[in-house]
Amino acid sequence: MTSDFSRRHFLLTSAAAGLAPFALGLPAARAAAGGTVTLRLGDDLSNLDPAYRVGTIEGNILRAVCQQLAKFKPGSLDWEPDAAKSIKQNSDTEIEFELNPGQMFHGGYGEMTAEDVKFSFERFTKPDKTGAMVPYADDFAALDHVEVTGTYTGKLILKNPAPAIWTIGICDASGTILSKKAFEALGDKVATQAIGTGPYLFKEWKAREHVILAANPDYKGADTAPFAEMTLKPIVENRTALLALMAGEVALTEADVTAEDELAKAKANGIESLKIDGIDYTWIGINVEKGPLADLKVRQAIRLGIDVQSILDGAYGGKVGRANALLAPALLGYWAEAPVYNRDPAAAKALLAEAGQTGIALTFTCLNDAISQATAQIVQANLAEIGITVTINAIDPGAYWAMGSGDASKDLDLTLIPYTSKFDPGFQTQWFVSAQVGVWNWQRWKNAEFDSLHKEAGSTLDKAVRQEKYVRMQQLLDESASCVWITHGAHLFGYAKTLKPVMLPDGTDWQLRDFAPA
């Protein structure tokens, strides 16, 4: 009796649940510009504490919710005062600021004062409660302390001249000003709750479903929030996100660069596209300490044996530009005259013969994503033609990035390495210094001149001098033949024509507070 009843009940319920949606005629959701807008995030948030943020997603949100002393102008690397009424560099080691009065923190945490600036910045200079420095400590490595001279005034006292502190520290997410009072009251909850004074309030974060930012009615700045509400929806898969854009569920998404033609075709349906050349850098690192690779001629032969253009065409669909040196064209220190090494198997073989090397067998280590594996296969085929046997070792990110500890890099031969950049060239060159051997310098190339140039270029404010030094550093890297540069990448966005997105010139830093209806 009981089992009869259960089965019938179950069947009826299943039938009802299965058929009901078909009878409802459900409309698809639409992203509405003007009052509200829905944007796609590539992943969910992880940690909203600026010192422990995991990626650019948190940084993008923090810059919309919080203020900095100065911020980048829309789409530009030039900066302008934000929370500061005025900010100026008095000397190589002193930056003076005065805050605008009346900037109130969300949630009733009071007015922003110079004490909040001191608290927010000095967190990066001291060990945290576990005794470790915060992950983003390097962003304020040059900061000695913040001197509070009044309720709204203070000075950043630096240990040494540090031009990078503007672009990496003050204007980036590490420079967002927190409420000391809120931080002390919330404790570990600052990881999930952003309290700021910016144009948007952090209204809601439903893990893996959405983040909602709402216009801050108390915002005192000139650039008030253009949208009443901004919903950020995490969608991990790029293809799904593109379909969501086409279906009108989101008004903006980043897409694979190979989707450029597809997006162009969607223009008739009100979809626009935006492509920004990247400043990141992907290269093939050659371990200069390992077996035959210790011979410069072998490294030069490998450089001439690899067809970079084929990699760009085959692995990236021909949609990204070629890198010829470490620093991208948009950055200070760009080496415009860097040599372009086109494939020359005959010359490569001649170099191997000169080196007296035959039967070389190498391992090519890379991440296990599609682009990296396609690159590895092209390199394998290229080098086979000059007599070098390559075995591909494609591994997942966990195992790959673990090679940055315990001197694991000593066993690498050739490695495809994708790094992200910051706007100061010193952030990029730091990974190639001698002290990074055994850590993140997987080429294990050491050069005393490079090391001292890195130090000098990072502590002078003269742009012309810095430009010269960074170019020289790239020349030294080029002479070492320890790197085969592939690309600086590119970022492609599809967006509804009703939206005007604003990005910094790297394509990864979104200026959400400047997004507006078109």
Quote the strand ranges of 188-251, DSSP E.
200-206, 210-215, 229-234
| 239 lines the binding site for other proteins (CB under 8 A) | yes
Look at residues 172, 173, 190 and name the one whose alpha carbon lies nearest to residue 181: 190
* CA 132/CA 145 separation, integer angstroms: 18
Stretch that binds other proteins, among 25-33, 114-122, 300-308, 459-467 (CB under 8 A): 25-33
Question: No. of H helices and E strands in the chain?
Answer: 15, 20
- Choosing from 208, 267, 463, 497, the residue that interacts with other proteins (CB under 8 A) is 208
| 234 lines the binding site for other proteins (CB under 8 A) | yes
Quote the strand ranges of 77-221, DSSP E.
79-81, 84-91, 94-99, 143-148, 153-158, 200-206, 210-215
| 126 lines the binding site for other proteins (CB under 8 A) | no
| 440 lines the binding site for other proteins (CB under 8 A) | yes
* CA 245/CA 30 separation, integer angstroms: 9
| 268 lines the binding site for other proteins (CB under 8 A) | no
**To 10 degrees, what angle do helices 370-384 and 296-305 make?**
110
**DSSP 3-state of 371:** helix
- Choosing from 32, 104, 148, 191, the residue that interacts with other proteins (CB under 8 A) is 191
Nearest distance from residue 6's CB to other proteins, in Å?
8
- Choosing from 114, 170, 241, 320, the residue that interacts with other proteins (CB under 8 A) is 241
| 207 lines the binding site for other proteins (CB under 8 A) | yes
| 350 lines the binding site for other proteins (CB under 8 A) | no
Look at residues 252, 197, 154 and name the one whose alpha carbon lies nearest to residue 62: 197
- Choosing from 77, 104, 243, 347, the residue that interacts with other proteins (CB under 8 A) is 243
Look at residues 97, 95, 123 and name the one whose alpha carbon lies nearest to residue 179: 123
Nearer Cβ to other proteins (150/406): 406
Sign of CA dihedral 135, 139, 144, 145: negative
| 384 lines the binding site for other proteins (CB under 8 A) | no
| 404 lines the binding site for other proteins (CB under 8 A) | yes
Q: What is the 3-state secondary structure (H, E, C) of 386-448?
A: CCCEEEEEEECHHHHHHHHCCCHHHHCCEEEEEECCCCCHHHHHHHHCHHHECCCECCCCCCH
- Choosing from 396, 407, 411, 449, the residue that interacts with other proteins (CB under 8 A) is 396
| 448 lines the binding site for other proteins (CB under 8 A) | no
| 322 lines the binding site for other proteins (CB under 8 A) | no
| 237 lines the binding site for other proteins (CB under 8 A) | yes
Give the x-and-dash track for 32-61 against other proteins (CB under 8 A). Answer: -------------xxx------x-------
| 132 lines the binding site for other proteins (CB under 8 A) | yes
| 236 lines the binding site for other proteins (CB under 8 A) | yes
Beta-carbon count within 10 A of 111 CB: 15
| 438 lines the binding site for other proteins (CB under 8 A) | no
| 18 lines the binding site for other proteins (CB under 8 A) | yes
| 76 lines the binding site for other proteins (CB under 8 A) | no
Angle at 325 between CA 321 and CA 328, to 5 degrees: 55
Backbone φ and ψ for 88, nearest 5 degrees, come out as -150, 155
Nearest distance from residue 236's CB to other proteins, in Å?
6
Instruction: Give Cα 60 distance to the centre of its chain.
Output: 10
How many residues of this chain bind other proteins (CB under 8 A)? 64
Nearer Cβ to other proteins (1/336): 1
Residues in touch with other proteins (CB under 8 A): 2-3, 11, 13-15, 17-18, 20-21, 24, 26, 28-29, 45-47, 54, 127-128, 130-133, 135-136, 138, 188-189, 191-192, 206-210, 233-237, 239-241, 243-244, 246-247, 249-250, 396-402, 404-405, 419-420, 431, 439-440
